[in-house]
Structure formats: structure tokens, C-alpha cells
Structure 1
Amino acid sequence: MVKESTSPLVKHMVNQLRDAHCDAFRFRWILKELAKQLLAECCGVLPLMERKIPTWQGNFVGSFVDESRITCVCILRAALPMQDGVLEVLGEAEGGFLAMKRDEQTHESRLYYDRIPDISGKTVIVVDPMVATGGSLHDALALLKERQPKQIISLNAIGAREGVERIEKAFPDVDLHIAQIDPTLNKDAYIVPGLGDAGDRAYNTI
């Protein structure tokens, strides 16, 4: 299920990322805070638990997110700030890493690093700023589903409509929360209007 955010604050943050004058430090900071906003929008499907805690007037039993049942997987390198944002909120969740490089000729992705803990029966939150053709995210989701998580949630900053529709068709059981869906891709498979290469802009490698 694809859920595009309607939050004015989220749209404001996306448009700040589009700004060519947004420097790398601020670009990373906005991605991190945007991930927190998207996390808040999907919190209704996160695993919960009851826990007794001491308070200033005695013990209290309250509802908490069961962070031990959550793994946040980032697709390197552009997604690192988004993973930081999720793990700042869910400090006891595990982190996982996938590195996928896009072939500039075929626009297909190639996996070259996989460091994922045991996710069997867990909730996996995948973070990836860009969904262009959907190739990297598609391959990441296919790999993760083989490891039998309970559910997968994808948090994304911006995507082209065709890439988002590709993911929705291939993985109808994945909840995709995206800040902004743009109309199309250009001939080089970059999102239009988009914001450029998120990894290059985040780490000054343009």
C-alpha cells in the first residue's frame, strides 16, 4: 500500500531538499528529520508492548513500541541520515545495511554488501530517499522477504510515479510511506523534478 504524505511540514522539508543551495550538512539533517516525520505517520502498524515503569508517583503500566522487534535497514549510502533519524527515535531497534550500486548504462542495481541481522518474524523498516525506477528498492525488498519478516515498511523521501507503481505492483503487502511522488523520470532515469543524486548531495561527492 502506497501512502503519500499530505503533511505541509513534510512537503516543506522535501522542497528544501530540492533547493540547489541546500548544503550537504543541511541536506543530511533534513533527511534525518524527514525520516522521523514519516516514521510518525506509520506508527499505527508498529509492534507494541505493555511495560511497567517507575514514575514520580509509583509504578505505571504503559504502552510502548516494542523496539526489540524492529530492524531498520538502510540502502547505502544516501539512506544513512534517514536510518539515523529512525534509530534516534527507536534507540533499541537493530540496524541493517545493504549496499546497491546502479549501473549507469542499464539503470539496474547490483548488490555488493549485505549486513542484515536475523529479521525472521520482525518488523523491518527500510529507508531509501529515492525511488526512481524502483530497481534498488525492489531488489532490497525481494532479498528481505526471503528472510521471512513479519512485515516490511518502506520510508522514502521522493519517488517517480513509475517507480512507486512498480513497487506497489510487486509488493502489495509492503507499506510504502513516501513524502512526495513526482511525475516522471528523464532519459537518464532520474526523477523529474526530483532533487538530483541524494547520495552525492548528502556527502559532497558531486
Structure 2
Amino acid sequence: MRKREATGDGTRVGERRARPELCAKVTAVALHVLSHPLVDDTFAGLRDRRTPCDEFRRLAYRVALLLVAEATRDLPTQTSVVETPLEATTVRRLAARVVAVPVLRAGVGMLEAFLDLVPQASVGYFGLERNETTAVARRYYEKVPANLHDAVVFLLDPMLATGGSAVQAVDGLRERGARRVRFLSVIAAPEGVALLQAAAPDAEIYTAALDRGLNERKYILPGLGDFGDRLFGT
């Protein structure tokens, strides 16, 4: 899968450009924006307000698969030998300890795709609830595996808007010893990327779309609406 690193222009062809003053704060080192025709085709349905809940779920699963495949591209492997029906051959198997941590509730929509590709992964949860007036997230639940220091931890949250929830979640993982954190989002705004990179410069960010910015209510534009509401039909 081709991958586009964020430069000064995080938009796709046909989308409005993100504001230059915000994009200037987004560095390319740890930001990976997917560039693939299947991602573009999937987003056509995700963005469409007419897409029904069942179809939105199918599309969310599809884009999550593409994200997980890209974000796990460089996981370490080790060799072993198996017998094919014809002869012995050397194969490679994952050697990393992998932990997936969806942020409740919308991040649950990315978990099925993750486990379909990495079924041996352990799973933890962070519960973060955004105050719709202040846009500040409150942590209300957490349950993650112990001893994260030797794991590659994938934080799953489909929307990286202001970045406040992402920073809280990454901080929570750091408190539990996580050293390698990768943040996976379906859609992101430059404001959220910049905040997360400032707070956790060594955390890699993978997103399927980098939109132009936030409106006055801190929603991503052009965006796709509230991912959790559309996923769960609420």
C-alpha cells in the first residue's frame, strides 16, 4: 500500500486544503496518511450523510483493515520451518507482543478488523467521554494488559479532532509502561495531529484522511459526522 507522509498539504485531490498555519505545525516524521484507491472509494461512502448505519459499519470495517495492514507493516518477525505438502520451507511469524486498545465507544468499531488481521493481540480499553460544551475529554474507564513495556501498543480511535482524548489515552498507556505506541484514526484534523505530536513526539500516527480543520464546535471539516453515532445508529 502506498503511504503519503504529511508535508504541508494533507488533503486528497478534490478536498479543500487545510489551513497553512496549522499544517506548518504537522511534522512528517511520525504521521502516515494512507494513499490508496480503496481508501478513497471507502471514504466516498463514509462521508456521505445518506449512507445507512449498516453500510457505514461495513465501510468502517474496510478502512480499518487497510489502516491496520499499513500500521503493522514493520512489526518484527522470526523464522521457523514448516512442512508443506511437498517439502520443508522457511516461513516468518510475528515476533512482537501486540496490544490493541480501542477508545470507547467509537474505537470498538476498529477492533474487529484489527483482531481479524492480528488475532494473537491482547486487548485493553480506555473509556473517554467528550464534554460537548468544552470539548474536553473525561476518562471514566480503563482496563489494559500489564507490563506494556515490551509491547507494541495500537491505540484505536477513529476521530483525531482536538487531540485531547488522544493525549489522555497515550499518557495513560505511558503510565503503564508503554514505550511503543501507534495511534490509528480513520480521520484526523491538523489541530489534533499537532497537539498529539507535541505531547508524544515518539508516538506514530496512522490515519486514512487528514482533513482541513475544525469548526467552532470542534468537529472535523469536511469530516464524516460523529463516527460513533453513525456506527451505532444513535
Match of 1:38 among 67, 75, 96: 67
CA–CA distance in 2 between the matches of 1:53 and 1:128? 37
Match of 2:124 in 1: 96
Deviation at 1:137, TM superposition (A): 1.0
Q: In structure 2, how many angstroms separate the alpha carbons of the residues matched to 1:82 and 1:129?
A: 7
**Is the 1:103–1:109 Cα contact (8 Å) retained in structure 2?**
yes
Tell me which moved more, 35-44 or 191-200: 35-44
How far is the alpha carbon of 1:61 from its aligned partner?
A: 2.5
Q: Which residue does 1:197 correspond to in 2?
A: 226
Report the alpha carbon displacement of residue 38 of structure 1 after superposing the two structures with TM: 1.2
User: Is 1:61 the equivalent of 2:87?
Assistant: no
Q: Distance in 2 between matches of 1:130 and 1:36?
A: 16
Provide the aligned C-alpha RMSD in A.
1.4
User: Do the aligned partners of 1:47 and 1:123 also contact (CA within 8 Å) in 2?
Assistant: no
Q: Which residue of 1 aligns with 2:193?
A: 164
Give the secondary-structure state (helix, strand or coil) at the position aligned to 2:73.
helix
Q: Tell me which amino acid in the other structure corresponds to 1:177.
A: Y
Match of residue 180 from structure 1: 209
Report SS of the residue matched to 1:44: coil
Q: Distance in 2 between matches of 1:115 and 1:39?
A: 22
Deviations 1:38-60 (A, max 9, x none): 12222333232223333212433
Runs of 4+ off more than 6 Å: none
| Structure 2: segments with no counterpart, 5+ residues | 1-29
- Whole-Å separation in 2 of the counterparts to 1:45 and 1:169: 24
2:26 equivalent in structure 1:
none
Which residue identity lines up with residue 32 of structure 1 in the other structure? Y
Q: Is the 8 A contact 1:29 1:81 kept in 2?
A: no
Q: Which residue of 2 aligns with 1:2?
A: 31
**1:103-142 matches, cutoff 5 A:** 103-118=131-146, 119-142=148-171
Structure 2 CA distance for aligned equivalents of residues 52 and 70 of structure 1? 23
Residue in 2 that maps onto 1:76: 104
Tell me which residue corresponds to 2:25: none
Confirm or deny: 8 A CA contact 1:2 1:176 kept in the other structure.
yes
CA distance in 2, matches of 1:23, 1:77: 19
The Cα of 1:14 is off from its aligned counterpart by: 2.0
How far, CA to CA, are the matches of 2:63 and 2:81 in structure 1? 31
Q: Larger % of strand: which?
A: 1
Q: Sequence identity of aligned pairs in percent? A: 33
| TM-score normalized with structure 1 length | 0.93
**What corresponds to 1:22 in structure 2?**
51
Aligned to 1:188, the other structure's residue is in SS state coil
- Output the TM-score relative to the length of structure 2: 0.83
Equivalent position SS for 1:61: strand
Instruction: After superposition, give the CA deviation of every residue in 1:122-173 in whole Å (9 maximum; x if it has no partner).
Output: 0001111101101111110111122222411111110111111111221111
Q: Which moved more, 1:81-90 or 1:29-38?
A: 29-38
Q: Distance in 1 between matches of 2:50 and 2:100?
A: 30
Query: For structure 1, which segment, 194-203 or 58-67, has the greater mean C-alpha deviation from structure 2 after superposition?
Result: 58-67
Amino acid at match of 1:55: T
How far, CA to CA, are the matches of 1:53 and 1:91 in structure 2? 20
Deviation of 1:111 after TM superposition, in Å, equals: 0.8
Give the number of aligned pairs: 204
Q: Which AA in structure 2 matches 1:86?
A: F
